[in-house]
Amino acid sequence: MVRTAAALSALACLLLVSACGVPKQRIAVSTDPLGATVYADGGKACASTPCSVSLDKQSDHLLTIVKDGYEQEEIVIRRRFKPDRAIRDGVISGIIKGADPQDVASETAREVDEQERSGEAYELDPPIVTIKLTPAGAGI
């Protein structure tokens, strides 16, 4: 019984720690032709397209797409404030905690603030990147 309780406690702690990380979003990347390398903010993110890259939602990002024999492409991924989820979560939480409209309003404001600080209230745009690569020297 003690071992079961300890195991459940350890699992709960592990879940809490993993849930507290920086919120991320997967961005799908596809190129024509296939097989390009994708760098995110200067670091290698995937070796060969098509692929997806995991980016934190707390900032804008720069994707650089490289393939031998083709022009390098750069795509800016911007974060956009999307309060809909935070407002919904705040309203639900406020209703659960108490039906007083003032409680609901303050819980909604707290939830929006919390999700804005954590990055959860943001989405990265575009969520899908599709690029037709230009052969090197084709523009000359």
pLDDT tens for each residue of the chain, 140 residues long: 444 444 334 333 333 334 458 899 999 999 999 999 999 999 999 999 999 999 999 899 999 999 999 999 999 999 998 877 777 777 777 777 766 777 777 777 777 788 777 778 889 999 999 999 999 987 65
pLDDT given for residue 96 in this prediction: 77
pLDDT given for residue 2 in this prediction: 44
Alpha-carbon torsion angle 82, 86, 92, 94, nearest 10: -140
User: Residue 89 and residue 108: Cα distance in Å, rounded?
Assistant: 7
User: Residue 4 and residue 2: Cα distance in Å, rounded?
Assistant: 5
> Residue 55, Cβ neighbours under 10 Å: how many?
21
pLDDT given for residue 20 in this prediction: 56
* Assigned token pair, 33: 């032709």
pTM: 0.69
**Cβ neighbours of residue 11 closer than 8 Å, sequence gap 6 or more:** none
Helix/strand/coil percent split, the chain, to 5: 35, 35, 30
CA distances from 5 to 8, 14, 17, 29, 102 (A): 5, 14, 18, 44, 39
pLDDT given for residue 94 in this prediction: 73
Please tell me whether residue 128 adopts helix, strand or coil conformation: strand
